[in-house]
Amino acid sequence: MTGNRQLLVDALARAKQRNRAAFIAYMTAGFPTTDYGIAAIQAMLGSGADIVEVGLPHSDPIIDGPVIAAAASIALGGGTRIADVIRTVREAYQVTGKPVLVMSYWNPIDRYGPERFASELAGAGGAGCILPDLPVQESARWRESADRHDLATVFVAAPSTTDERLRELTAAGTGFIYASSLMGVTGARETVSASASALVQRIRAVTDLPVCVGIGISTPAQVAEVAGFPDGVIVGAALVKAVRDAPDAVAGIVKAAELTVELSQATRRPRR
């Protein structure tokens, strides 16, 4: 099986044709367990998510706030390994046929072997990887493996990213560009930073790749506020928190699905 990079491109284009931003949901693999995590991801994809990010749990999640960091700690404490992440991707894709990305720091993939990881991810039907801490200048080895297996490589741009760096990461990236709505770690915020719109405009000045905005977006109102200018809106911590705060794992799956319905409906843009 080859990767599903085109499936990712098509999902973003289809949302645009329907006058809405694509809704991209995140969940940490292995949280609260591998089986329940898979069920939650399948439920979100069945409840309006166009694309899902499967988080590869890491012991030092430098851009993740306390909610996702705690989920990663629980997953690692439960024995979650890369094989479980690949299984999560496979079962999410096989049941829904929708694009599934892995969100990972570079160190676990580097240690596992980029070619091995890319091969297994593509074999599971994965669409690609988001690599927030991999410098573009050091990404050639990964990108060669990703291209060989038809996987997207998504880089993250922040409001502080210089124009020169934006040109570099947009030239190297595929699938879409992940625009961080603010400086700092993931997690809910009271308001959405105004810098997100400016960053999207700067990215679009140097590339035709779709641009998706994430980090700090957690409520339907915030999704609706943002959805007018990017190609996709990403929500992570709020969905992880819905699972965490539920009285049991089954209730957590239901809560994540219900929140996904609300968040995905908020991506519709008003008709002009």
Catalytic residue from among 10, 50, 60, 64: 64
Q: Which of 53, 84, 120, 150 is catalytic?
A: 53
Active site includes 64? yes
Radius of gyration in angstroms for the set of CA atoms belonging to the chain, rounded to a whole number: 17
Q: Quick one: tokens of 199?
A: 């960053």
Q: Is 168 a catalytic residue?
A: no
What is the set of active-site residues?
53, 64
